[in-house]
Amino acid sequence: FFGREIALKVMARYYPEVPPPVYPSFSAPAAPPADEDSPPRDPDVEGPFDFARELNLTRVQVAFLLSQGQLEAAEKAYLRNVEIHRAMGNSDPGNAAARRNLMVALNQLANLDSRTGKLARAADLYAESLAIGRALLQQNPAEAPNQSALSATLDFSAELALRQGQRDKARAAWLESLA
């Protein structure tokens, strides 16, 4: 609220020729209460849930938290992100984009786990992401986003396997990534 108030004053002072922005949450009636099984929505965004926006917001939030040394808070943000994307993917299992976004969310948490020494959970998260990616690629082998998402997860998984001294597993993942 206060950020918007300041933004409006700055705009009025320095850019008087530009019309002030209209914020939907201030001018629109309140949204009906969300169903408890629904993922949380940003009240300032009208329309359907935006996967890319949510992933980006989480990435920015976690980068800030990590820069402040707040590992537990960063982990909680990534866990929330995984929950949101699981719910979205489960609500429409045929939606390849939603399933790829779940892969990204799983990989983000796994990458954090890998950096903080939670290697077993990281391996499990990568395995879940790989299963999703392989299923997507099997359904539509020619779709570039499916190939890219699987390749990235294979690379992450290979790096983790190498850290764990599993050279053969790392090599197999990298070879599959190149295929």
Sequential pLDDT tens for the chain (179 residues) = 445 666 677 777 777 777 766 554 434 444 444 455 555 555 555 666 676 677 678 878 888 888 898 999 999 999 988 998 888 888 888 889 889 989 999 999 999 999 999 999 999 999 999 999 999 999 998 889 989 999 999 999 999 999 999 999 999 999 999 88
- Under 8 Å between Cβ of 162 and 178: no
Task: Provide Rg for the chain, Cα atoms.
Answer: 20
Note the pTM of the prediction, 2 decimals: 0.68
- Under 8 Å between Cβ of 84 and 40: yes
Contacts 24+ apart (CB under 8 A), 16-22: none
Q: Which residues of 112-126 are buried (b: 16+ CB within 10 A; e: fewer)?
A: bbbeeebeeebbebb
pLDDT value at residue 114: 94
pLDDT value at residue 57: 82
pLDDT value at residue 21: 60
pLDDT value at residue 41: 54
> Residue holding tokens 């917001």?
57
